[in-house]
Chain A
Amino acid sequence: MFDVNELILKKAKELGFGDVVVLSHEMNRRQVRFANNEITVAKNWHERKVELFVELEKRIAGTTITELSEENIERTLKTLLSNMKGMAPKEDYYGIAEGPFEYRDIPETFDKAIVELDEPNEYVERAINAALEEGAKRVAGVLYTDHDRIYLTTSNGVEAFDEGTGIEISVRAFIGDLESGHGTNSVRVLKKFDPESAGRKAGEIASLARNPEQGPEGKFDVIFDPLAFANLLSYMSFMTSAYAAEAGFSFLVNKLGQKVANEIVTIKDVGNMPNGYGTRKFDDEGVPTRETAIIENGTFRTFLLNTSLARKYKTETTANAGLIMPHAWNIVLEPGDYSREELFSEVKRGIYITNVWYTRFQNYVTGDFSTIPRDGIFLVENGELRPIRNIRVSDNLQNILESIAALTKESHHVHWWEVDTPVSTPYVLVKDVGITRATK
C-alpha cells in the first residue's frame, strides 16, 4: 500500500500541510467464539484502512480513510484543511520524529503457518477437551488468529513496513454456578501455541474451586495469579502515558524520580519483545520500538512519550507514539527468584486470586480503586487452598506496588478482553491488601 501512502503524502504536501503521517493497515482476522462446549459463532474480518495524521501550523487533525480512491483521498484532505483553517493552534505541539530510521526484524512476530491455517476449530476443540478432562462441565471462550500488515510513510522521511501474525485463546471453564476457572494463551507463531494449557488451567482452577464458602474481609497477604496481576498492570500502563498524566488520569503525576514501588519492582515497556502480542517494529511516527524502564527498582523513571511530548518535557521520545496519546506495547514486570511453591509457602494465612475484572478507580490521581476477583479464589492457610467467594480487592495502586513482597521466576504473557495492553508478569505476593465484601 506504499503507493497509496505516497499519493496521500504528495497531495497533503501540495495542500500545504506540515507534518503528515500515513499509517496503512491490511488486516485479516478470524474469531471463533464458543460457549457450553460448542461454537456459538465464527467470524472473519478483512479490512484495509489508512490512519492519517496532519498538522497545519500547529493545528492537528486525524482521520481514518477506508475508501482509497484518489477522489476520496483528495476530498478527505480538503475537508481536513477547511476544518482546520479556522481552528486555534495546539501551542504545545512540537512535531514528529525525523527519519529515516533503520529497523531490525524482531524474532517470532511473523509465521506463515498462521496465514495459511485453513481452519482453527481443532484448537478450540483441544482447549475444550483439556478443560473437560480436568473436570469442567461447561467451557466457553474465544480464539483469534491475526495477520496484519502495516505501512508507514511520514513527511519526515520515514518509510517502514511490518508484517505480523498472532494466535490466541481465552478459555473459561465452569462446574457449577459458583465454580469457574480461566486460562489464556497468546503467541505470535503457531508452533508455540498451546490451547490445551489454557483449557487445562481453566479446568483445574474450576475443579479446585468446588463448594466455595463466603470469603472474609480485612487486610490479607494476597497472591495474584499472572492473569489477575496482568489486569492491574494493564490499567497501570495507561497511567504511564504522559498524555494520561496531563489529562488527570494517572497516580504517577508529579512523581518522576520518586519511589512508587518496592525495590524489587522493575516495570518496563518492551516494544520489540520477541513473541510479544503487542510487539511492533516501529511506533506511529516511525521510531524503532525499544525497551523502556518505567519503574526501575521501585523508582519511577519516565512516562511513555512520543516526539512532541518528549520535546515539550525536554527529553527523548520513548518510541511509544500514538500521535496524540503515547501508549505501551508490552508491559513487563520483571520476574523474581521464587518458585511458585516457595511463594505460596511464604503465606501463613492469605488469599490466592486467580483472576480479576471490573477494575474501577475512585480517583485516578490518588490511584484508589477496587476490582472483583472472578473465577477461583482461595484462602491459603499453611500451604492448603480452601475455595472462597464474594470478595473484592479495595486498595490503592501505588500501595499495591509498594507492598509487593515476592515475585516468582515463572512469568506469563497475558492478553485478553480484560488485559488490552499485553502484560508479562510473574505470580506476585502483595502484603496487606484491602479485602471487602457485601454484608447484606
Chain B
Amino acid sequence: MHELVEFAVEKALELGASYAEARFEEKNGTSLTMKNGSPEGLEVLAEKGMGIRVLVDGGMGFASTNVLTKESVAEAVKRAVKLAKAASRVRNEPIRFSEENFHRISYKVKMKKDFRDVSPEEKLELLRKIEEEVKATGVNVPMRFIRYYDQVWHKIIANSDGAFIESVIPRISTTYNLVVFENGQMEQAPFVQRAFSGGLELIEKDEPWKWAVKDVQALKKLIYEGKKPPEGKVDLVISPEVAGIAVHESVGHPYEADRILGREAAQAGESFVKPEMLGERIGSEVVTVIDDPTIPNSWGFYLYDDEGVKARPRYLIRNGIITEFLTNREYAAKLGQRSNAAARAINYNREPIVRMANTYLAPGDHSFEELIEDIKLGVYMVSFNEWNIDDRRYQQRYIGREAYLIENGEIKHPVRRPILEITTRALWSSVDAVGKDVEFYPGTCGKGEPGQGVPVWMGGAHARLRDIPLRRP
C-alpha cells in the first residue's frame, strides 16, 4: 500500500499538480446494538480506500476510490487534477499552503486487551452488563438503547512536500439512551457515550454501567424530588461535562480559521471571531482553554494531522485572552502563520478540514467545596441534554439534565431543567473560579459538506459563573 500511496503523489505531480497528497485509510471493526434487552444484530465494519487531494494553478481538487489498483488510483488522480484545474478558473486568488517541517514516521496506539481477539458474544456481555446493572437499581427504565462500537483505524498519508505518516489507532465506545418512567413522569438520558482510543481494557476500567446507573438514579430522584430551579440572577457551577460542551461550541468552533475566513459559511457556519481579535480579551483571567490532540487514549487522539503536520496542544484562550486559532495549512498561510495541525478527515473519501480534537477548560486552583462554599443561591449543573448555538457561535443554550440547587454553600435538592441561555462573551467573562480536577467526555463533532463526524473529547474542570440569568422551561 505504501507504494500505491507514493505512486498517487508522483502521478499527480506528473499531471501538473503543484501539490499532491494521498491518504490511504482502512477501518476494521464491529458494532453491536441492544434494544430493550434484545440484541439487534452485529455490524461488521471493513472499509478501505484512498483519497487524493491536489492543487493545480491554485485550484483544489479531490477524488477518492475504493478500488485499490494502480489503474483506478491513476484514474482518481486524473479526476482530481482535472477538477482542480477547472476550479482554479473560478478563484480570485490561488490557494497556497504554509511551509512546514515534515517527517517520515510511523506510530500506533497499543491495546492491552485487543478487541479483535474478543468474540461479539463477549462484547455483547458488556451491553448486557449495562442492562443488568440498570435493572438492578429498581428504577423503571422502559426504553433502553445501548450500543458498542470498535474499530482499528489505519492510515498512510504522503504528500509532495515530504510527509510520510503511518498510524494505527484503535477506537472503542459504548453509547446509551435510557428513558426513566416513574410516578407518571418521564426523564431521559440520550446518547450518553464513553469512548477512548485504545483497547477493550479502557472500557472495562471505565465501567460504563456505573455511569448508566448513576444516570437513571439521578433521573428517578429528579422525578420524585425535583423542584423548579431559581430564576433570575444566580451563581452557577458547571461540571466538567457542561464546561466541555461550552468550550467545544463557543471556543473551539469559532476559533476554526476556515470558519473565521468564510470557507465554512454555507453549512457549518461563520464565526464572531475575526483575525484581528488575536490578543483580545474574551473571558476572565481564570479562563484558559486548550485543544490537545496528543492526550494519550483520548477519543480525539492523533500525533500527526491529515496533512502530515506534527500535533501539539493549542492554547485557544490563555488567561482570558484569545491566543490561537485552529488552522490547517491553507488557512495558516492566509493568516501568515504555521499550521497547528488541526486538519482532519473522517474517512479516505473526505477532504481534511480544520477540526477540534480534545478541547478543555484548563484547571484552576479551587476545590469543589471552595467553588460552592460562598454561594448563597445557585445551581450546580452536572449534565445536559438540549444544547445549541447560533451560526456565529455567540448565542448558546444548555439545559441541565442532572442539576441541583445550591443554598448557603450546600448542595440541596435536584432542580428541573435549568436553562443557561447566554452569549459567548458573557459566559466566559462570568467565570470567577475554576476547579482543580479535569475530566473528559466524548462526542462526535459535526462539520463539513458532506458531513464529517469526527471523534472528540470535551471537558475540563468545574467552573463557577457569577450572576447568571438562569431561566426555567
Tell whether A and B belong to one assembly: yes
A394 to B399, CA, bound (A): 11
- Quick check: B92 and A60 within 8 Å, CB to CB? no
A362 and B386 contact, CB distance less than 8 A: yes
Bin the interface of chain B by size.
35 or more
Say how far B454's CB is from chain A's closest CB, in angstroms: 16
A416 to B120, CA, bound (A): 37
Asked if B423 contacts A438 (CB within 8 A), the reply is yes
Chain A 37-71 interface mask (CB, 8 Å, partner B; 1/0): 11111111111110000000001111111110000
Interface core residue of A44, A177, A375, A417 (most chain B CB under 10 Å): A44
Known: A61-B42, A439-B469. A359 touches B399 (CB 8 A): no
Where chain A touches its partner, the secondary structure class is strand
CB-CB under 8 A from A138, the residues of chain B are: 262, 265
Report whether B179 and A248 are in contact in the complex, using a CB–CB cutoff of 8 Å.
Answer: yes
Residue pairs across A and B with Cβ atoms less than 8 A apart, 24 shown, are: A30-B83, A31-B450, A39-B91, A41-B60, A44-B62, A44-B63, A44-B76, A45-B64, A46-B64, A60-B40, A84-B42, A90-B38, A90-B41, A121-B87, A125-B90, A172-B267, A177-B392, A247-B36, A249-B190, A357-B391, A360-B385, A360-B388, A361-B385, A394-B473
User: Are B386 and A44 within 8 A (Cβ)?
Assistant: no
The answer to whether A42 touches B423 (Cβ under 8 A) is no
Q: Contacts A83-B42, A138-B262 given: A390-B390 contact, CB under 8 Å?
A: yes
In the assembled complex, the Cα of A35 lies from the Cα of B119 at a distance in Å of 48
**Which A residue sits closest to B265, measured CB to CB?**
A140
Is A436's beta carbon under 8 Å from chain B? yes
Instruction: Mark A residues whose CB is within 8 Å of B.
Output: 30-49, 59-67, 76, 79-80, 83-84, 86-92, 119, 121, 124-125, 138, 140-142, 170-172, 174, 177, 180, 243, 246-249, 324, 357-366, 368-372, 374-375, 390, 392, 394, 416-418, 436-440
Q: Within 8 Å CB of A417, what residues of B?
A: 266-267, 449, 451
B415: shortest Cβ distance to chain A, in Å? 14
Which 9 pairs, one residue from A and one from B, show the smallest C-beta to C-beta distance?
A248-B143, A358-B388, A140-B265, A42-B83, A362-B386, A247-B145, A63-B44, A60-B41, A140-B266
CB distance from B233 to the nearest CB of A (A): 9
B397 in contact (CB, < 8 A): yes
Q: Give A75's nearest chain B residue, CB to CB.
A: B46
B217 within 8 A of A: no
Question: Is A142 a contact partner of B449 (Cβ separation < 8 A)?
Answer: yes
Whether B66 and A392, one on each chain, are in contact in the complex, defined by CB atoms closer than 8 angstroms, is no
Contact A83 B422, beta carbon cutoff 8 Å: no
B188 touches A365 (CB 8 A): yes
Residues 436-473 (chain B) with a chain A CB within 8 angstroms: 449-451, 468-469, 471, 473
Cα separation A119 to B124 with both chains bound (whole Å) = 49
> Quick check: is B389 within 8 A (CB to CB) of the other chain?
yes
Q: Smallest distance from the beta carbon of A214 to chain B beta carbons, Å?
A: 10
Known A-B contacts A372-B388, A392-B397; the reply to A48 vs B42 at CB < 8 A is no
In the bound complex, do residue A370 and residue B386 qualify as a contact, i.e. CB atoms below 8 Å apart? Answer: yes
Neighbouring B residues of A438 by C-beta, 8 Å: 395-397, 421-423, 426
On B, residues with C-beta under 8 Å from A are 30, 33, 35-36, 38-49, 59-68, 75-76, 79-80, 83-84, 86-87, 89-92, 119-121, 124, 142-145, 177-179, 186-188, 190, 261-267, 269-270, 272, 349, 351, 385-392, 394-397, 399, 417, 419, 421-423, 426, 430, 449-451, 468-469, 471, 473
Q: Which residues on B sit within 8 Å (CB–CB) of A61? A: 41-44
Do B265 and A172 touch across chains, with their CB atoms under 8 A apart?
yes
Bound complex: CA A393 to CA B219 (Å): 26
Contact of A171 among B186, B266, B394 (CB under 8 A): B266
- Closest beta carbon of chain B to A65's beta carbon, Å: 7
User: Do B80 and A44 have beta carbons less than 8 Å apart?
Assistant: yes
A142-B449, A362-B399 known; A90+B66 contact, CB < 8 A? no
CB distance from A242 to the nearest CB of B (A): 11
Give 19 new A-B contacts, CB below 8 A, not counting A76-B46, A417-B449: A35-B266, A39-B91, A40-B60, A41-B351, A61-B43, A64-B45, A64-B47, A65-B46, A66-B47, A67-B48, A91-B38, A246-B35, A248-B142, A324-B40, A358-B388, A370-B388, A372-B388, A374-B269, A436-B419
CA–CA, A40 and B269, complex, Å: 15
Q: A48 to chain B: which residues have CB within 8 Å?
A: 66-67
Q: Which of B48, B59, B124 contacts A39 (CB 8 A)?
A: B59
